[in-house]
Structure 1
Amino acid sequence: MYKKLATQTIIYSIGSILPKIINYAFLRFFTISLKREEFSLYTDMYSLSFLAIGFLSFGLENTYFRFLYKKNYNQETVFSTGVIIQLLIITFFLIISINSINYLISIAGYHNHPEYFFMFFFIIFFDTICILPMAWLRAHEKPLKYTVINVINILIQSFLTVYMFFCSNNFYIKKTCLVSIFEWINSFTDRTGYIFFANMISSLSNLFLVFPILFKEVVIQKFDKILAKKMLSYGIPIMLGTIAFSINENLDKILIKRWGSDEMNGSYSACYKIASFMSLYIRVFRLGIEPFFFKKYGDSDAEYYYEEINYMFILFGLIFYVLICGNIPIIIGLFIHQKYHFAMSIIPIIMMGNLFLGIYTNLSIFYKVLDKPIIGTYISFIGVLITFLFNIIFILIPNSSFMIPAWGTFASYGCMLIILYIWGKKIFSKFFRKKINIIIHFLFAIFLVFVINKKREIMFRFFFQLLYLIIIFVLEKKRFFNLIKR
């Protein structure tokens, strides 16, 4: 079982890691090519879009996995019902949004960039439609196809981005292609529009690639009204939790742009992306593990597997944390231009907050398999309140530091994890037998990062990180070898 799980996770990792690696390569290019205020606009548009996608997804991905493994429902019926619900929601959103475009532009403060809003409406539309087909590939254990689709999309987006940055003003190329499209592209008020246009085309290509799944697997006659009500009832609390997560993740950047400055937000957002390396680790793990968690629930050894897998997740997450935060000067120099470096102090704080979030996400399987996603909604909104509190402090204090929103992210995800731990302990008491070991690992990793960052010498950093890896291997080698053996 572990062997198959590991193989699938590796293949999923390629599909997730390669696009992220390419995006991080572009991070260096963008921070060199764009001004800080342009980079601020770039991150702000994506922050706003994540809030919209969080709403439009309606929690249907998790809902699909949950109902798929219920014995009294046909798999085709579950998928068809979920997709039809998703299409109705997203079509309604698109109609309302296009008719309200001027009002939305006014609220967001983008009078000079209406074309960017139109592009993001279509990006959101295409991406949301693709959520369930991509989940179908995961549920039916087709990691290779999942990976190929992701790689094709990122290559298309990368090619278009590079082409427009370097060749869009070339007269010959412009005359031999669709003139009206290039005239529209060249009318963008700044070069961030190139990035958005490339993303829109990539999202459209993603829809084309998953369309065969929609065409073959979705049967209108199999739409089940009773099932649809149950799926919506299950998914809405997850959707609210997703919106809460999007607020936790993006509110700081939205407010820093409007109450701080574009220059501050540009630097904060660029360094935040370095801290998001931890999110990459979490996503890779989740892609392979989440369907397994749902499938395993109900087995006699489910708690054992949940505990072992989550323990290893925490252990490798802390190793990742030490290796990244122990080499911040090197890594930040590789990925972002020097003009963005003054916000680098947020990286260890945001990374640890993201690790808290990853652990919380894994433990959230408790309430999902019990069909009580509303628990996650309550916890998520507590996290949102904490995030709001820290960001209000940032707004109210004149000339306040961007460290306040960073600590808000840390506190929000940390409190969410503690609350879920207290709740889950009552139901899954056997699951928390290794909590002392976990606390020791956390304290050791944080202390080591603090010590390493007190010194600038590379050999000093390398020695302590190597020592850390040796100590971890000695302490956990038995568990590690058992994992490989099983």
Structure 2
Amino acid sequence: MSNLKKLAGQTAIYGLSSILGRSINFLLIIVYTAYLTKESLGSFTSIYALIGFLNIVFTYGMETSFFRYATGKQLDPQRVYQSTQSLLILTSVALGTGLYLSAPLLADWMDYPGQAYLFRWTALILSFDAVLAIPFAKLRLDNKAFTFATAKLINIGLNVGFNLLLIIAFPYWIRIGILPSDFLGYQIDWGVEYILLSNLLANGLIIPFVWWKAGFFNFKIDGKILKPMWAYSIPLLFMGLAGVTNELVSRLLFEYLLPENFYPGLSSREAGGVFGANFKLAILMNLVIQAFKYAAEPFFFKESENENAKQIYAQVMHAFIIFCSFLMIAISVNLNWIGPLFLRSPGYEEALFIVPVLLMGYLLLGVYFNLSIWFKVTDKTQYSFWITLLGAAASIVVIWFLVPKWGFMGGALSTLITYLLMTVVCFYFGQRYYPIPYQTGKGISYLLIAFGLSYVGFYLSLEHHVAEFIFRNAMMIPFALLLLLREKALWLKIKSKIKS
């Protein structure tokens, strides 16, 4: 239990920074939907989906590989850090330069004629992200959770500050005459441009602080260290691409696959903006998973040599499913007021009905992350390659056929179906090569019941708003009663801990 307490404690720290930071960042959706056009939101959705894909290419699995080899007994962690960071700098410069020079072609391909500067800024954002990845990983490995959290919050604070300055403050000051209309070349009609520029400035300014806190390094490429790390990380590159394919490909391709006038009064790019804004409402589930991942990845590796490792992995999985199932119900049944609270302009609530599906998809992503530990600790990362290909293919097929027919729901189902397929396949092979005593039956039943209660609560409608709120949230009571009946041992253990 001490190990689980340690994991819970670090998850709380990472979770606080991740949830607080991303929640602050999430609040920008209020600014975007209030001050920018749906077309700008559509551009934001598709360009940041592209950034999500390319971010995986720029880091190519080296973060996880760093954890694997820096925690081993054979290699000096500092040498691993120096070589890994040096390699990331070299490849970031190469990939960033290639993307920068290809910006005009990419702008035309994505239907942004004359806006190649958007993709030049994208190249710089991706390069800055890549050279920060290993220093952030080293902070986690060194258990410097508070330093990690501080750096993340500073970065997000800068990003939010620049967004507010460029999207709200400058136009207002120009309008009332405090600033001249051509102040610093300000373009009043820009939208997604200022989102990208804010991101670029925030990432660039945080680099010195993170490098300083992680420990400056000597630039050195050690082939003996990097050769096995490279072999280990390449399959993880494909696994990462599978994750972002499932999460982002629907937002990247949505506007291009949706027929014109599918939704009256909305262009395909505007509909993409509505779709992307509603995707943001599922962020709370993603925040929990991200916080869990920050703490769990180094924890899983360190516990891999423990004789009770498999039991610990099973306990973590069970607790994860219970907590996230509660969260899915709580968010879904309150979407009737959460949606209008964050999506400030009319028309965005049209896609609210897809949010419970997205929440379930993100939950399955967390389950998949738990399951994937088997091929990481057994060095069978080649299996991630095949699972990746299967997931990516399924995601593209679902989007290709369902978005033109079902619009918003077609895009959301791609997330759910792909993560479900990857989870099932990963579980099957994991139980063959590294069997872990998961409580599979209970876990599946909890997920299905929670998903059903989520939609019952979402569609429940009463004339009296207070009564509706009470009855919607009462959907959590049957789930709580089920847990009381089926998790007696867990509650008794918690009760004894409280008494002691």
TM-score range, shorter chain: over 0.9
In 1: Cα distance, 2:333 partner to 2:110 partner: 38
SS at match of 2:112: coil
Map of 1:245 onto structure 2: 243
Q: What are the residue-to-residue correspondences of 1:37-436 with 2, within 5 Å?
A: 37-169=39-171, 170=173, 174=179, 182-184=183-185, 186-187=186-187, 189-213=189-213, 216-221=215-220, 223-260=221-258, 261-337=268-344, 338-394=346-402, 397=404, 400-432=406-438, 434-436=439-441
What is the rounded CA distance, in whole Å, between the counterparts of 2:179 and 2:337 in structure 1? 40
Q: Deviations over 1:197-240 (max 9, x none)?
A: 111111112212112156x442235x321211111111111112
Tell me, in whole angstroms, the C-alpha distance in 2 between the residues paired with 1:344 and 1:292.
36
- 1:163-183 alpha-carbon deviations (Å, 9 max, x no partner): 1223324367657xxx99x53
Structure 1 residues 430 and 249: CA distance shift in structure 2, 3 A? closer
Structure 1: which amino acid aligns with 2:49?
S
Query: Is there any run of 5+ residues in structure 1 with no aligned partner, and where?
Result: none
One-letter amino acid of the counterpart of residue 458, structure 1: F
Rounded to whole Å, the distance in 2 between the matches of 1:35 and 1:98 is 27
1:3 equivalenced with 2:9 (yes/no):
no
Please give the alpha-carbon distance, in whole angstroms, between the structure 2 residues aligned to 1:482 and 1:80: 45
How far apart are the structure 2 equivalents of 1:9 and 1:334?
Answer: 28
How large is the Cα RMSD of the aligned pairs? 2.1
TM-score (norm 1): 0.93
Please give the per-residue CA displacement for 1:450-474, whole angstroms capped at 9, x wherever unaligned: 3323412212112232343344245
Report deviation, 1:52: 0.9
- Judged with a 3 Å threshold, the aligned counterparts in structure 2 of structure 1 residues 10 and 480 are, in CA distance, closer, same or farther, namely farther
Query: How far apart in 1 are the matches of 2:369 and 2:295?
Result: 14
Q: Distance in 1 between matches of 2:164 and 2:459?
A: 39
Residue 475 of structure 1: aligned partner = 486
Contact 1:149 1:206 in 2 (8 A): yes
Native 8 Å contact 1:139 1:291 kept in 2: yes
Q: Is the 8 A contact 2:358 2:412 kept in 1?
A: yes
Q: Which runs of 4+ in 1 moved over 3 A?
A: 169-175, 480-486
Contact 2:92 2:127 in 1 (8 A): yes
Distance, in Å, in 2 between the alignment partners of 1:477 and 1:462 is 24
Q: Is the 8 A contact 2:60 2:233 kept in 1?
A: yes
Q: Which amino acid aligns with 1:482?
A: K
Check conservation: 2:236, 2:385, Cα contact below 8 A: yes
- Gaps spanning 5+ residues in structure 2: where? 259-267, 462-467
Deviation at 1:23, TM superposition (A): 1.8
1:19 and 1:150 in contact (8 A); partners too: yes
| Distance change >3 Å, CA 270–CA 225, structure 1 → 2 | same
Q: Which moved more, 1:71-80 or 1:451-460?
A: 451-460
Change (3 A) 1:44 1:149: same
Letter in 2 for 1:190: W
Residue 107 of structure 1 and its aligned partner are, at CA, apart by 1.9
Check whether the contact 1:275–1:350 (CA below 8 A) recurs between aligned residues. yes
Q: 1:149 and 1:173 mapped to 2: Cα distance?
A: 33
Q: Is the 8 A contact 1:127 1:207 kept in 2?
A: no
1:101: how far off?
2.2
User: How many residue pairs align between the two structures?
Assistant: 476
SS in 2 for 1:111: coil
Deviations 1:61-99, CA, capped at 9 Å, x for gaps:
100001112111110111111111111110101222222
Counterparts of 1:286 and 1:39, CA distance in 2: 29
Q: Partner residue of 2:471?
A: 460
Residue matched to 2:442: 437
Find out whether 1:24 has 2:35 as its counterpart. Answer: no
Cα pair 2:242 2:392 within 8 Å, conserved: yes
Greater CA drift, 104-113 or 153-162: 104-113
Q: Which moved more, 1:330-339 or 1:226-235?
A: 330-339
Deviation at 1:401, TM superposition (A): 2.3
Provide Cα deviations, 1:38-68, integer angstroms capped at 9, x if missing partner.
1111111111111111111110110000111
Q: CA deviation at 1:440?
A: 2.0
In the alignment, the residues of structure 2 paired with residue 349 and residue 66 of structure 1 have an alpha-carbon distance, to the nearest angstrom, of 34
1: distance between equivalents of 2:44 and 2:492? 45
The question of whether the paired residues in 1 share the 8 Å contact of 2:58 and 2:130 is answered with yes
